[in-house]
Amino acid sequence: MNARTVATQAIAGQRPGTSGLRKKVTVFQQAPYLENFVQSIFDSLEGFEGQTLVLGGDGRFFNDTAIQTIVRMAAANGFGRVLVGQHGILSTPAASCVIRKHAAFGGIVLSASHNPGGPDGDWGLKYNTGNGGPAPEKITEAIYANTLAITRWLTVDASDVNLGVIGTSLVAGMAVEVIDSVADHADLLATLFDFGRIGALLRSGTFRICFDAMHAVTGPTAHEIFIKRLGAPAASVINGVPLPDFGGGHPDPNPTYAEDLMAVMFSEAAPDFGAASDGDGDRNMIVGRRFVVTPSDSLAVLAANAHLVPGYAAGLKGVARSMPTSAAVDRVAAALGVPCFETPTGWKFFGNLLDAGMVTLCGEESAGTGSDHVREKDGVWAVLFWLDILAARGESVEAIVRDHWRRFGRNFYSRHDYEGVDTAAANGLMTHLRASLAALPGQTENGALIASADDFAYTDPVDASVSTAQGIRIGLADGSRIVFRLSGTGTEGATLRVYLERYEPDVAQHGVETQAALAGLIALADTLAGITQRTGRTQPTVVT
């Protein structure tokens, strides 16, 4: 192998966010933007000589070009083998699964997840470690430091690998294995759920599903599992072919962007169960007939019903949720007598808890749920979990959720996103909030007594690492909460996220419309943060 050294200069702004580095495609296309970042990843790692790297992504525009670049750089840097998904496709949970199953040193996932793709869209990549999970902050910060000090990157002169054909070839002496994109992941999922019971339900003719792959990475997974292995009718999967621009859509599974699924599930002839997943297949949206399940409720329902599912019948070791996620799952954990951990936003914070065997299920309000089967959130896993519960209980999605509320009470919950806000205005809003924290407890605003106010800091219970400034929390005397944070995944201006939560034990109140139930908190959020005054926005861009 003859590595070639290419001189380069540091590029500002390559700090990984909540989930890797995300920028416009046009930014990554300007060499050496990608090369600098990938070399900075390799330079932050030790001991990968001769080891395996897993490589794949969500099929978005520019992935094919980037894969060839990264393969050559991996060879030049001394990796012994690269496993690439066929056509460059590996969903985020599949990549996690492949890293673990094949004992790889780590992996690179090419995706900007739920952000739109195409020549004018977004692109991104993240590094996952040998446990299959996103690199912890210690590594992402080391990568960032390297991007500021970089002087060269390494490559080899070799022709492109044919990503269309499964098999092994050599790139400057390094083995490149093109592998089936879904087989390992599908095999793993088959060990967790009762495929016999789910298959019987899907073939019964009396129970119909609609899975919307949003022209993103879960199309092939959904075909393999729902149609091929479980025998559901072919029409059960819509938008199932991955497209480089996701068909012009926004592959974010929520009621605003999953329009096709919402139209089906709210129609007269709606199927019994609907679901969608995002660009890279780690998020999930669950919909019953004319009934949307919030991600926070979904996590709580999965935890409360896990004993019905073979892979989890032995019981949960514990659960974890990101701080802004509703406390619905906390009530389930208390009833089960297992610990519940509250982490900062981003799946990288669950890794230590999962590795240490302290938790079995994890979830985020942003439509991410997963378990210790991999080290990422897993969209199709969540769908199978729901289907297994539905098969076991024989009730509708809505009936199961309403029964859950009856038992545990309802955590009314909503997230308001203000996208593309002026960065200075968003930073000013957060600075103002931070400055007001000390004085807020004990004050009454809009008739609500504020009990607590802080900026969330997290000490990892396994390695004691500390993460500060993870979101402003305002707690009211009645137990309600408002959380403010700025997104770490956007690529344009700033995105302000406002998370609103109110607990309602009274069953008679559970039918109230969510935004109406939270109206007082929504007004209070504006009073406290000055959203309208500072951002000029009177309405959020997206309400979930």
Under 8 Å between Cβ of 115 and 489: yes
- Of residues 240, 249, 244, the one with CA closest to residue 209: 240
Indicate the residue among 109 and 156 with the shorter CB distance to Co ion: 109
Tallying the residues shown for the chain, one arrives at: 544
Per-residue x/- track, 89-128, Co ion (CB under 5 A)? ------------------------x---------------
Per-residue x/- track, 368-387, ligand VG1 (CB under 6 A)? x-------------------
Indicate the residue among 35 and 278 with the shorter CB distance to ligand VG1: 278
Under 8 Å between Cβ of 480 and 390: no
Q: What is the DSSP string of 207-248?
A: --EEEE-TTSTHHHHHIIIIIIIT---GGGEES-S--TTGGG
Identify the active-site residue in 19, 44, 113, 487: 113
- In degrees and rounded to multiples of 5, residue 311 shows phi and psi of -65, -15
Q: Is 467 designated active site?
A: no
Under 8 Å between Cβ of 503 and 479: yes
Per-residue x/- track, 274-303, ligand VG1 (CB under 6 A)? ----x---xx--------------------
Q: Could you tell me the smallest distance in angstroms from the CB atom of residue 544 to ligand VG1?
A: 10
Kindly identify the residues of this chain, within the stretch 279-318, that bind Co ion according to CB under 5 A.
280, 282-283
Indicate the residue among 32 and 471 with the shorter CB distance to ligand VG1: 471
Under 8 Å between Cβ of 397 and 273: yes
Q: What are the structure tokens assigned to 74, written together?
A: 């991996």
345 binds, among Co ion, ligand VG1, none (CB under 5 to 8 A by kind): ligand VG1
Q: Does 60 bind ligand VG1 (CB under 6 A)?
A: no
- Of residues 321, 364, 377, the one with CA closest to residue 132: 377
Name which position in 39, 52, 91, 366 contacts ligand VG1 (CB under 6 A).
Answer: 366
Q: Edge-to-edge strands of the sheet including 291-293?
A: 237-238, 209-212, 273-277, 284-288, 291-293
Under 8 Å between Cβ of 90 and 54: yes
Closest-by-Cβ residue to ligand VG1 is 113
- Going 375 to 295 to 302 to 280, the CA torsion angle's sign is negative
Q: What are the structure tokens assigned to 311, written together?
A: 């892979």
416 binds, among ligand VG1, Co ion, none (CB under 5 to 8 A by kind): none
Query: How many angstroms separate the CA atoms of 3 and 152, rounded?
Result: 12
Options 36-44, 188-196, 265-273, 343-351: segment touching ligand VG1 (CB under 6 A): 343-351
Indicate the residue among 113 and 544 with the shorter CB distance to Co ion: 113
- Of residues 60, 158, 50, the one with CA closest to residue 116: 60
Kindly identify the residues of this chain, within the stretch 467-526, that bind ligand VG1 according to CB under 6 A.
487-489, 497
Which residues touch 393 (CB under 8 Å, ≥6 apart)?
305, 308, 400
Q: Could you tell me the smallest distance in angstroms from the CB atom of residue 146 to ligand VG1?
A: 22
Which residues touch 512 (CB under 8 Å, ≥6 apart)?
412, 504
Q: Does 409 bind ligand VG1 (CB under 6 A)?
A: no
Kindly identify the residues of this chain, within the stretch 191-230, that bind Co ion according to CB under 5 A.
none
488 binds, among Co ion, ligand VG1, none (CB under 5 to 8 A by kind): ligand VG1
Options 222-230, 275-283, 342-350, 418-426: segment touching Co ion (CB under 5 A): 275-283
Q: Could you tell me the smallest distance in angstroms from the CB atom of residue 352 to Co ion?
A: 21
Name which position in 194, 364, 388, 501 contacts ligand VG1 (CB under 6 A).
Answer: 364
Q: Could you tell me the smallest distance in angstroms from the CB atom of residue 122 to Co ion?
A: 12
Q: What are the structure tokens assigned to 285, written together?
A: 């949206």
Residue 217 is which amino acid? V
Q: Could you tell me the smallest distance in angstroms from the CB atom of residue 533 to ligand VG1?
A: 23
Give catalytic residues, as residue numbers.
113
Q: Which positions touch ligand VG1 (CB under 6 A)?
A: 18-19, 113-114, 278, 282-283, 322, 345-347, 364, 366, 368, 487-489, 497
